[in-house]
Structure 1
Amino acid sequence: MRAFIFPGQGSQAVGMGTALAAASPHAREVFQEVDEALGQNLSKLMAEGPEDALTLTANAQPAIMANAIAVLRVLEKDGGIRLADKVDFVAGHSLGEYSALCAAGSFDLATTARLLRRRGEAMQAAVPVGVGAMAALLGVDVEKARAIAEAAAQGEVCTVANDNDPGQVVISGHRDAIERALPLAKEMGAKRALLLPVSAPFHCPLMQPAADAMAEALAAVALQAPLVPVYANVTAAPAADPDTIRGLLVEQVTGMVRWRESVRAMADGGVTEFVEFGGKVLGGMVKRITPDVPTVSLVTMDDIEAFAKGL
C-alpha cells in the first residue's frame, strides 16, 4: 500500500519548480493555470523571488501547492501513472491537505489555488501582526507540550498547533504566552524551544475569523469525492464524503495538525511506502514516526523518472 503526501508552509524556496518547468511542458501548464486562476504571475515570483514576497502566507500557500501538483502532473503525464491505480491514501500537512485533495480530484487546480489564496489572506488578517506567535518545542512529545502550553497560557491562548513527530511539537497563541512558554519548556525537559519566523499564530483558536472565512469560501465551490481517501489533519483518520471533508477543512484552520498520528495510522493501516511531492520536509518527520516504512521525495525530473520506473 502507498500514500502520497504533500508538504505545508515553510517548504517554499525561491527557484522552486523552475528546473521542472524547463524540463516538462506539463509542469509549465500547471504553473500557467495557477497564474491565470490568481490573476498573478506567481510562477515568476516562485522562480525569481524576492524571498520575502514568496514567504507571505497568501503567496506561499498556493505556490507550495502548485509546485507539488506540478510534480504529480509530470509523474502522471510523462510517467503514464494514474493516481487511483497506484495510491491507497493521500494526506497533506496543513495547506498540504488542499494539495492532497487536488491530487485526488476533489478540487480542480484553479479552485485549489483560489481557496489557498483566500486561506492565506484570511489567516493573515485574523490576528494583527505582533499579537500572535508560534514556537517549536524539540525533544518533547505532545502530552508534555500540552502541559507546557497550559502552564504558559495564564488566561491567554496557548495551545498545541502541530504534532509533527515524536520529538517535534509546535505551539501557537498570543505572543506573550508563547514567549512565557520558551523558558518553561526548557525547565520541563525540552531540548530546544524557539520562536518560529511566522506572521500569524496558525492552528489555534485565534484563527476563528479565518475559519469563518473558509467556511464561506468552501461552501461556494464544488467538492467531489476523492479518488482515494484523504487522511484529515484534525481527525488523523480517512475521509471520503465531500460534506465531511468540507467541514474538516474548516476545523483545520483552528485545530491541531495531527501529523504524527496520521502517519502512524496510515502505517498501521498497511501503508508500506510514503511518497512526498515537491519537498523533503515531511520525509524526515515520517522517518522519525515510522522508521521502518520507506519514504521517497519527488522534487526533480530525475526523482520522478526514477520513481516511475520502479512502479
Structure 2
Amino acid sequence: MKAGWRLAKSVRKSVSGHKGLVTYPLLSGITAIIIFIATFMSLFFTIPLDSGANSNVLLIYIGGFILAYILIGFLATVILLSMMIAYRSILKGDNMGIRESLNKGFTYIKEAIEWAIFYTILVMIMRMIESRFRGFSQIIIGAVGSFIISIATFFAVPAILDYKCGPIKAVKHSVETITRNFGQTFGGIAYIDLYTLAIVLLGFLVFIFGLILGISTLTVVGFAAMLSAGIIIMAIGLILNFTYSNIFKLVIFDYANGKGLPPGFNESDIKIATRQKKSRFGGIMGNSNL
C-alpha cells in the first residue's frame, strides 16, 4: 500500500510540472455541461413536458438523454486519449500541444464511439438490475456492480490507446493486466482520491459557509463571491482527480507492459505496485487477485 501511495505522489509531481495536462479534463467537463444543457433545452422547447401523452414524451426525453450520454462518453474518451498521448509526448521531450494531441485523439473515433456505447449499455444494465431491489439491498447491489465495472474497465482506455481495439478486447487487456501484475496499485488510487476529495470538500464547505452567511450577513457581492469560490475549488478537485488518476493508470499500464518508467519515478515502488503474486503451489495467481 505504501508503495502505491509513493507512486501516486510521483504522478502528482510529474503532472504538476506540466500544468497544460489539466486543460483536458476542463475541456471534457465544459463539453459535457454544454451537451447536457443543449439536450435539455432542445427537448424542452421542442416537446414540453406538459404537452400531453406523457408516457411517449418521457420515452423521448429518456432516449434524448441516452444519446447525449453516449455523445459525452465519446468526446470524453477522445479527450482522455488525447491527454494520454500528450503525456507520452512530454516524456519523449516533444511537448505536444493540445490541438495536435486532439487531432491524434480523433483518429480513434471508431473505438471511442464503440467504447461510449458499450459503457452506456453496461451502466444501463447495472441500473436495471439495481432497480429490481429496494432499500439496503439496492445500495449493496449498486456498490458491488459499480466496483466490478470500475475494476474490469480500469486499464481499458490505455488498452484502446495501445491496441486500437474494440471495447471487449479493451476490457480483456485491462483484466489481463490486473490479474498478471496486480500488487499494491490501489494504494495509489486511494491517495489520489483522498487528496482530491479533500480539495472538493474544502470547496463544498466554502459553498455551504457562503450560503449560511449569505442569509444573514453577506452582501450580494460577498454572497456570490463565496458561492463562486466554493464551486471553483470543487471543480479544481474534480479536474485534478481526472488528471492524476488517469495518468496513474497509464504509468502503471505502460510499465506492466514493458514500456519503461517515466523520469522521477522510483522503480522499486513500480515493481512492488505491479508485482506478480505467486500462489503457494508456485503458479501465478489469476482472478483471485481481483
TM-score (norm 2): 0.29
Larger helix share, 1 or 2: 2
Q: Which has the higher contact order (CA 8 A, sep 6+)?
A: 2
Q: Which has the higher strand share?
A: 1
Q: Which has the larger radius of gyration?
A: 2
